[in-house]
Amino acid sequence: MRGRNSKRKEIIKLLQEGKRVAEIASSLGVSKSYVSRVKKDYTELLLRSRGELEARVFTLLEEGKDPVTIVKELKLPSDTVIEIYDKYLELKELPPITVFDLSDEIESLSKELHELKGAIRKLDFQLRKETEEKLNSQYKAVNSNLSTLNKRVESLENYTATLQGTMALVVSLLGMPLIDCLLQKLISAPGNMGEVTSKHDYAIVKEWAALAGALWKAQKTMGKSHISSEVMTHLLELASTYRDALQLHGDSQGAQMFDDIIKLLKYGPSTGRPLPKKHSKINLVES
């Protein structure tokens, strides 16, 4: 028992020196939980002792005794009595708090809370209303734009249908004369060109390629070929002659273009093949 009391005294002494619980437990060889219990008991004792001391000083002050007399009677340090005396004066200056004061304060806080809740509900309603109005406005604008767009699409579709009908009429009226005119120009081109040797030769080749492309487009618009086998044979011979002439001159790109023209003439517009390369891509090199 004495050993236990001795340990408690040592722990209290170390606590007064400012040591931590872990340090005390390690130095004295006891558990940290035991040191913590001693610290708790000691703190409660100090608070209780301090409270009893302040109560005694307050009692003497209420009896009208001055701090000097209290120091003499209780044999306390003057600093301690002055500190307690200051607390006494501070507490005396505080207004007394009654149950009615607390009730009024609670009522005031409750009223403020109720007003705050009302303001929050009002703000929430206003935000919801503004958001709904904004969304409705945007929805109407989108519907209006969509309606306008649908009308424009319908108008364009009607215009396209009218244009297609007009083009069909134009093709039916002009298609055959146009094809005949192109064929006449293609057939009448010179066919005795051995090699492209001058600007004049190049002009002939370029014009013939352009006319062949125009013929292909015209036939494609008409939807079928209107060229007889004899005329087609002659056109193929001319195209082969121009291809060979370009090849002899070293213009492989131009020769390849005429290969494409020959294929288009052979297979007709119904094959869905692309148009021949533009005649502007023929390599015009002066000899």
Split at pLDDT 50, 70, 90, the class of 138 is: confident
Higher pLDDT, 270 or 279: 270
Q: Where are the alpha helices (DSSP H) in the chain?
A: 2-16, 21-28, 32-62, 67-74, 78-93, 99-187, 199-222, 229-248, 252-267
Residue 47 pLDDT greater than 80, yes or no: no
Contacts of 36-41 with C-beta under 8 Å, sequence gap 24+, read: 38/8, 38/11, 38/12, 39/11, 39/15
Domain coordinates of the chain in residue numbers? Answer: 2-93, 96-172, 189-281
Higher pLDDT, 221 or 166: 221
Residue 287 pLDDT greater than 50, yes or no: no
Q: Check if the beta carbon of residue 201 is closer than 8 Å to that of residue 245.
A: yes
Chain mean pLDDT for the chain: 76
Residue 257 pLDDT greater than 80, yes or no: yes
Amino acid 97: pLDDT: 60
Task: Give residue 47's Cα distance to chain centre.
Answer: 62
Mean pLDDT throughout 45-50? 69
Higher pLDDT, 122 or 102: 122
Higher pLDDT, 147 or 191: 147
Each residue of 89-113: pLDDT tens digit?
888 776 666 666 677 778 888 888 8
Residue 39 pLDDT greater than 80, yes or no: yes
Split at pLDDT 50, 70, 90, the class of 164 is: low
Split at pLDDT 50, 70, 90, the class of 150 is: confident
Amino acid 125: pLDDT: 87
